[in-house]
Amino acid sequence: MLTAEILDAIGGLTSHIKIYAARLPSVVHLNAVPSGVKPSIEAIDSFETIVSRTRSQSAGTPYKGLNESLVSSLEAFEIGNLLGAVQPLLTVLDHLERMQSEKAIEVGRLDEQRLKEYRVSLRKVLPGNQPELDGAGGQVS
C-alpha cells in the first residue's frame, strides 16, 4: 500500500462525510441527529467498502496502525454521528503526518497537498467553522 492509496481512501471517506453533512439541518445537535437524516444505506455500504479494502491492503504495512481509527469513523458514520466520523479521520491525518516526520513513510509534494486539503475539508464540517457563525458569542457593539 502506498501513501497515495491511503489518501485516496481518506478522500473517498471525506467525500461521503461532506455529502452527509450537507443534508443535515443548519442547526442540529450533531451527536443526536434525527433518525430520518442518517446516511443512506448506499453511502454506508460505500464507506464500509472503502474501510474494508483499506484494512485488507494495509496488513503488514506501516499503515496498519490506521485501521482502528478508520473503523471508529465507519461505526460513527453508520449511526449518523458526524463528529464521531470526522474526528477519527483527523486522527488518521495526524498519524500520517507523524509517520512522515519520523521518515516511516514518504509523502510526495502532491500527496502533502492532499493531506492539507482533506484536513481543511473535514474541519469545515465541524461546528463553529461556518462563516455565518463568525463572531457568535462576541460582544454586541
- Burial (CB count <10 Å: 0-12, 13-18, 19+), residue 5: middle
Q: What is the pLDDT of residues 21-39, one digit of tens each?
A: 888 776 555 555 555 578 9
- The mean pLDDT value of the chain amounts to 85
Q: What percent of the chain has pLDDT over 90?
A: 62
Q: How far apart are CA 101 and CA 90, in angstroms?
A: 17
Q: What is the pLDDT of residues 50-99, one digit of tens each?
A: 999 999 999 889 999 999 999 999 999 999 898 999 999 999 999 999 99
Helix (H/G/I), strand (E/B), else coil: 140: coil
Q: Is the pLDDT score of 137 beyond 50?
A: no
Instruction: Evaluate whether 102 touches 141 at the Cβ level (below 8 Å).
Output: no
> What pTM value is reported for the model?
0.81
Query: What does the block give as the cell for 116?
Result: 492539507
